[in-house]
A and B are shown apart, each in its own frame.
Chain A
Amino acid sequence: MSEQFIRVIDCDLEQPLTLADVAEIVGARPTLISHLVRVGVLETISDESEEPLLRTRSVLRLRRMARLRRDLGVNFAGAAVILDLVDRIERLNREIEEMHSRSS
């Protein structure tokens, strides 16, 4: 069994990326990313700079949306709603877990 030491790269999911960066990372056309921003599926960071910026987190969200689109046949807007609801359920579940662990 090989053993190796892996250095963790500080991964700030809030770090801003340009739309072109995001397109490059996920292998999509920049026009698609702009479209998703325009229709509100991806949220840009409100900032004084003129260029719209996305959080690094958007990359992971885009990948999840693409999987849902492929596997469930929903469109991006639908996938965005699904992910928001899943996040909300996860948050609530954790709150319930915490309440249980404190009361037990």
Chain B
Amino acid sequence: MATQTKDYYAELGVSRTSTDDQIKAAYRKLARKHHPDLNPGDKAAEERFKELQQAYDVLSNPETRKLYDQYGENWKVVQQTGQAPPPNWEGFRQQGPQQQSGGFDFSGFDFRGFRPGTTGEGFDIFEELFGRSGGTRQTGPHRGRDVEAELELSLEEAHTGGRRTLQLQSAETCPTCHGTGMVGEGQVCPTCGGQGQILKPKTIDVNIPAGMRDGSSVRLAGQGGAGLNGGPGGDLYLHIRLKPHPKFKVEGDDVEVEMALAPWEAVLGARIQVPTIDGRVEVNVPQGAQSGQRLRLRAQGLNKRKGGRGDEYVRLNIRVPKTVTAEEQRLYEELKRLSTFNPRAGSKAKGV
């Protein structure tokens, strides 16, 4: 797909004559709507916010805004070379913001980490905000930023653990220009479009430990954003999300499953097959079982992180037939005549 020329003013919904304050206000308003930290797991919001941030990065700086006003999307060439591009020059295409970030782009799962600034460095926001010298950021090895992502696991995967292959995009130094973004005399590198980095697909196998829960996290050391100047990579945090299971409801280490019983099974007791996370087991339903009653199957729940297992609870739900045969009808009538059972005896509800 061809890269379209982006109008940064249109991105932010402001006019070319807008003041800095108006641009800031427009950006903040849109950021409130699309910020990835406010929309966890929403890829569309994340993409939209990246575009907003890219536009705001350019328009919030008087120097880059001036260049952008004059040269449009080619402003960066001018900034890097100090020269205006030749007429009809089309060699430069603005790359997606992820190429500036020096971080990861996740194709297989939600990307919650966020590019901290235009320098493509690690967690520099605190340094900017809280007075560490900006000058020191540019020199010496710099650790890559930490990246957070979501990983969805089935309940079975969380229970047993196991290998999981993840596809991700990692930013690497451009092999053509070796990270400078330029080739020859003032030519923008054709491989990376002047970004100095390219995205390469990477496959990693991750050994997920048994006993993961919704909200658990695992850390992959060095798999986050690439380090600068030989610095180590940041870490990748995978936040585990459990996919809802069609049968089991998870409560901590325990699982609950609902089982239907026929009225006579509830009255007389029964032996029924019940699913567990490892397969089916037979369970004795005691005589006089009630709807909503829970039977505990000890140590049939989820594996715990540090050994041991939770329990499974079987919630009983007594179902009655919607239609009955003539013979059944007769037997129910007989039961009605003989039985002294009154389900409403002792009920405090009025008018029942």
Contact = CB atoms under 8 A, between A and B. Distances in A.
Interface stretch (B5-13, B31-39, B177-185, B328-336): B31-39
A29 B205 contact: no
A68 B130 contact: no
Interface stretch (B96-104, B189-197, B212-220, B287-295): B212-220
Contacts of A67: 35, 37, 114, 116, 125
A2 interface: yes
Interface string A64-103: 1011111111000000001100100010001001101110
B207 interface: yes
A22 to B, nearest CB: 11
A69 B202 contact: no
Given A1-B201, A68-B35, A102-B249, A8 B220 contact: yes
A7 B209 CA distance: 10
Contact of A2 (B146, B203, B220, B237): B203
B203 A29 contact: no
A10 B209 contact: yes
B32 A72 contact: yes
Contact of B221 (A9, A63, A73): A9
A6 B116 contact: no
Contacts of A5: 204-205, 207
B209 A73 contact: no
A39 to B, nearest CB: 15
Interface in A35-70: 60, 63-64, 66-70
A1 to B, nearest CB: 6
Contacts of A82: 37-38
B206 A94 contact: no
B203 A27 contact: no
A102 B258 CA distance: 10
B131 A102 contact: no
Interface centre among A72, A82, A100, by most chain B C-beta atoms within 10 angstroms, is A72
B276 interface: no
B252 interface: no
A66 B125 contact: yes
Nearest to A85: B38
A64 B237 CA distance: 14
A90 B28 CA distance: 23
B204 A11 contact: no
Interface in B121-135: 122-127, 129-132
Contact of A1 (B130, B203, B219): B203
B260 interface: no
Nearest to A23: B126
Given A66-B125, A102-B246, A11 B35 contact: no
Contacts of A28: 126, 130
Contact of B246 (A2, A6, A86, A101): A101
Interface string A7-18: 111110100000
Contacts of B237: 11, 60
A4 B130 contact: no
Given A32-B130, A66-B125, A71 B205 contact: no
B318 interface: no
B297 interface: no
A86 B32 CA distance: 12
Nearest to A59: B146
B204 A4 contact: yes
Nearest to A82: B38
Nearest to B145: A63
B230 interface: no
Contact of A6 (B31, B126, B206): B206
16 contacts: A1-B202, A3-B203, A4-B204, A5-B204, A5-B207, A6-B220, A8-B206, A29-B130, A63-B146, A67-B37, A67-B116, A69-B125, A72-B32, A83-B37, A94-B244, A100-B244
3 pairs of A and B residues whose beta carbons are closest in the complex: A11-B219, A101-B244, A28-B126
Given A10-B218, A27-B126, 9 more contacts: A3-B203, A5-B204, A6-B223, A11-B217, A26-B123, A27-B123, A66-B123, A68-B38, A94-B244
